[in-house]
Chain A
Amino acid sequence: MDTLRKSNLFFLYLAINLILFCLMFAHASFKKETARGLIKEKGEMVRALQLTDLCLFTEASYTRHLSQADLHTAFQDSPMSLEHFPSGSLVGPPPGLRKINGKMD
């Protein structure tokens, strides 16, 4: 019974996965096309309202407007408060600040 060989089952498994992989790329491509209009709409809102940042983390001003943060934001709550918001551990400081602060690090 050639069809029941383990290698056949393995190749069948690989083939199913590869088909799913192709479907994954097809889905991604389809979604990108359909999202084009929505992304444009967001861009228009950014232009109309002159927005500078994404609304990802709203708990503190320096995580809400990442590009507008200043050097003192990390110390604004108490002397030992280096960072206490979880999102502060997800995102790094803006590169511009790191450049200014380079000599102190």
Chain B
Amino acid sequence: MGKWIERQRNIIDFTLSSLLRRKGKNVALVCVYTFVVFLLASVMFFIHSIKKEASIILKDAPEMVIQRMIAGRHELIPTGYMDKIKNIRGVSSVKPRLWGYYYDPVIGANYTLMVPENSDVHAGNIIIGQGISRARLAFEGDSMEFRSHDGKIIDLEVKNILSLESELVSSDLVLISEDDFRRLFGGSKEYVTDLTLHVKNPRELSTIAVKIAELLPDTRIILRDEILRTYDAVFNWRGGMMIVILLGALLAFIIFAWDKASGLSQEERKEIGILKAIGWETSDVILMKFWEGMVVSLSSFLVGVLLAYGHVFFASSALFEPALKGWAVLYPRFKPVPFIDASQLATLFFLTVVPYTVATIIPSWRAATVDPDSVMR
């Protein structure tokens, strides 16, 4: 065993010396390789964390949302629909939701205005999310102006600000009383934005959805499962950011392919020829090349993953921020929770380290099986 370890160490010594002889090329290769692993791992960490957090948080979303559609568009729903739905067997409760969007020309941002079901938001008061507080510099006790549907200015006092920790769901929220909501947007009291529904037995959800669709054909139904699936599928590999990142990976791959597919350089061939001539076995040469691949790819993998972790979970994905913010004025400041597991990293390892190491060995094996005399000429 000791002899075997000593042999590996000798070969690693030789491999490292050989790599250092072509320092510039190998350092560049390691840098590009590390960067590719860093990008891929950052995307993987970020997406997985968001998906996981969304799946936990949105488990508490309404079991079913019922919206009225007119001419293919979402319209306000009459409160009379609630009585019809309540009569369906298996429905435990139907609640109205009153919410909408408000464009604030002062900062050019859209707010989500919502009337909470059970809350102490009284007429004349509002509770705002952290994003709005930051953008409007509005704090407890300040008043905010809103322009109503008939052009009147309504002054509402900021009673409270939602917690910093809840920004991922509440950054752009304005919680408002029903009276103020109606004053702001107009409309009849007999209409609400949509309805939410709870059932006695969750297994009956799809049957109840079919019954509602038959009873009220002008409605569309959004199940909680669909909401959860949306957030599971929403960050998929078709996204623009993924393409940009894959372009980087592609570029690195081209460099890699150019380096490897063109086979070994004349110098490397000569080196293999000399090693063979002084008594190295083909297996020794292959072992040397295996360690060469491992040194480059394993170093890049380890550093790339560590940098990606720091980037996503300590620096809040600073590199992705411009793309994630998009054109939004209000953007939640949140640090993703590090939901990482070994299987993610194992996948990345097999996608990055193994192909490189294998690709390093094959041309060397071909060169090592040729007669040393012809290789050195």
Residues of A in contact with B (beta carbons under 8 Å apart):
5-7, 9-10, 13-14, 17-18, 20-21, 24-25, 27-28, 31-32, 35, 38-39, 41-61, 63-64, 66-68, 70-72, 85-87, 89-92, 94-96
Q: Are B73 and A7 in contact (CB under 8 A)?
A: no
Q: Are A10 and B12 in contact (CB under 8 A)?
A: yes
Residues of B close to A53: CB separation below 8 A: 58, 227
Residues of B close to A20: CB separation below 8 A: 302, 306
Could you jot down 20 A-B contacts, CB within 8 Å? Answer: A6-B12, A7-B9, A17-B302, A18-B302, A21-B305, A27-B338, A44-B60, A52-B222, A53-B227, A54-B169, A55-B330, A55-B332, A56-B168, A67-B231, A71-B72, A72-B72, A85-B327, A89-B241, A94-B229, A96-B222
Residues of A close to B316: CB separation below 8 A: none
Q: Are B168 and A54 in contact (CB under 8 A)?
A: yes
Q: Are A66 and B167 in contact (CB under 8 A)?
A: no
CA distance A94 to B53 in the complex (A): 18
Interface residues on B, range: 35 or more
Nearest Cβ in chain B — how far from A39, in angstroms?
A: 6
Q: Are B72 and A70 in contact (CB under 8 A)?
A: yes
Partner of A94, one of B17, B54, B116, B233: B233
Q: With an 8 A cutoff between CB atoms, is B185 at the interface?
A: no
Which of B170-178, B275-283, B368-376 forms contacts with chain A? B170-178
Q: A6-B12, A51-B61, A66-B231 are in contact. Are A42 and B309 (CB under 8 A)?
A: no
CA distance A10 to B95 in the complex (A): 64
Q: Are A54 and B114 in contact (CB under 8 A)?
A: no
Partner of A7, one of B16, B59, B302: B16
Max chain B Cβ within 10 angstroms of own Cβ: one of A6, A14, A55, A61: A55
Q: Are A58 and B61 in contact (CB under 8 A)?
A: no
CA distance A28 to B9 in the complex (A): 34
Q: Are A21 and B241 in contact (CB under 8 A)?
A: no
Residues of A close to B203: CB separation below 8 A: none
Residues of B close to A96: CB separation below 8 A: 222, 226, 229-230
Nearest-CB residue, chain A, relative to B223: A96
Q: With an 8 A cutoff between CB atoms, is B133 at the interface?
A: no
Q: Are B303 and A17 in contact (CB under 8 A)?
A: yes
Q: Are B54 and A54 in contact (CB under 8 A)?
A: yes
Q: Are B298 and A14 in contact (CB under 8 A)?
A: yes
Q: With an 8 A cutoff between CB atoms, is B25 at the interface?
A: no
Q: With an 8 A cutoff between CB atoms, is B13 at the interface?
A: yes
Q: With an 8 A cutoff between CB atoms, is B340 at the interface?
A: yes
Indicate with 1 or 0, residue by residue over B36-75, a CB within 8 angstroms of chain A CB atoms: 0000000000000010011011111110010101001110
Q: Are A56 and B338 in contact (CB under 8 A)?
A: no
With A52-B58, A87-B324 already in contact, 11 other A-B pairs whose C-beta atoms are closer than 8 Å: A20-B302, A41-B163, A46-B60, A54-B231, A64-B101, A70-B74, A85-B326, A90-B326, A94-B230, A95-B229, A96-B230
Q: A61-B101, A92-B234 are in contact. Are A5 and B110 (CB under 8 A)?
A: no
Residues of A close to B167: CB separation below 8 A: 55
Q: Are A58 and B235 in contact (CB under 8 A)?
A: no
Nearest Cβ in chain B — how far from A8, in angstroms?
A: 8
